Amino acid sequence: MKLTIHDIAKEAGVSATTVSKVINNKGRISEKTKNKIMQIIEEFQYQPNVLASALKGKSTYTIALLIPDAANPIYAQYLKHIEEYGQELGFSVVMCSTGGDPKKEAKHITLLRQKHVDGFIIASIFKNEPVLKQLIEEEFPIVLISLQRPELPVGSVTGDDYLGGYIATEHLLSLGHRKIGIIAEEATISGTERIKGYKKALENAGIKVDENLVITINEPTIEGAEVKAKELLNSGQRPTAIFGCNDILAIGTMLAAKGLGIGIPDELSIIGFDNTVMCKIVEPQLSSVAIPIHEMGKQAMELLAQRIQKKDNMKQRISLLPELVIRQSTAELNEK
């Protein structure tokens, strides 16, 4: 049975009004009582009616950017451009990392709404469906960036992941590679779309997809990618090129190849996705598919500002075109 505000009040030995004041950060409540109530809320994982009752006051001109992985530099780039344009519009931005954990997602949403943020930009992954749908039902201002949810009535700004996957694979094909592996993040829409683009490029080239070369990973870290790439490179299905579906996965693949004494790009070509700053600091520099991060950040902030100011009730879905950036990690197939 769903916990109510009255259950929290009973457990804390206070009135429902007192609990409401603590949740909404209103009124004069002693620190001891506040701490007791918040401890009970956390213990029982109470999910709001904070989502129904907060933010009834004036605008704070603060928005929150929720990201799944603070270690991935793509999110620092999103923050940079969202913040720049947000400041032009009079908004400040806070960023929170959820680790892709539904409990952390719910906790951040709850705490940020207690602080009366005006809206959320949610990046790449959000696994807590009940909280997301509750925000949408309440028409709380949210925009998705690098995350497509076409079945939900919510605005979004993305790069074309399918086309990006196609472009990356087509580049490797143009260099003579036919045995091309791919490492993608598991159970994400972007990863799924990039794999679809990869498969379509192979199909158009008359190459049958070898599912043994399609690797998914639920731990999208450099270390996790290195482990998966080593397994692939040590298998009897060793490819001559690998497409890492983000730069983190591609760099993990580079480390795996170097650890096995495989030369890049002479023996193995590697391409990434996102074109983050990491591409230029690895050796050799990493070829990657660039998404228009500056424009994505600006568009996401613009959509959210319009929602906050109730100037636009349309749920716009904006998809921007990626482009190929060729560096030293990809080269023509050496058949010697």
Enumerate the CATH 1.10.260.40 domain ranges in the chain, comma separated: 1-46
Cα-to-chain-centroid distance, residue 117: 20
Q: What is the number of residues in the chain?
A: 336
Dihedral pair phi/psi, residue 325, rounded to 5°: -120, 110
The terminus-to-terminus CA distance of the chain in angstroms comes to 67
DSSP-based three-state secondary structure for 63: strand
Q: Residue 2: pLDDT band by 50, 70, 90 thresholds?
A: low
DSSP-based three-state secondary structure for 268: coil
Is the pLDDT confidence value at 175 over 60? yes
| Residue 77: predicted pLDDT | 93
pLDDT, average across residues 207-213: 96
Whole-number Å distance between alpha carbons of 99 and 97:
6
| The domain made up of 161-291 is a member of CATH 3.30.420.40 | no
Which helix (H) or strand (E) is 70 found in, with range? none
Q: Can you give the C-alpha Rg of the chain in angstroms?
A: 23
Is the pLDDT confidence value at 170 over 50? yes
| Residue 148: predicted pLDDT | 85
DSSP-based three-state secondary structure for 120: strand
pTM of the full structure? 0.79
1-46 in CATH: which number?
Answer: 1.10.260.40
| Residue 21: predicted pLDDT | 76
Q: Residue 335: pLDDT band by 50, 70, 90 thresholds?
A: confident
| Residue 52: predicted pLDDT | 41
Enumerate the CATH 3.40.50.2300 domain ranges in the chain, comma separated: 57-159+295-320, 161-291
- Topology of domain 57-159+295-320 in CATH is Rossmann fold (3.40.50)
Q: Would strands 241-244 and 180-185 be described as parallel, antiparallel, or unpaired?
A: parallel
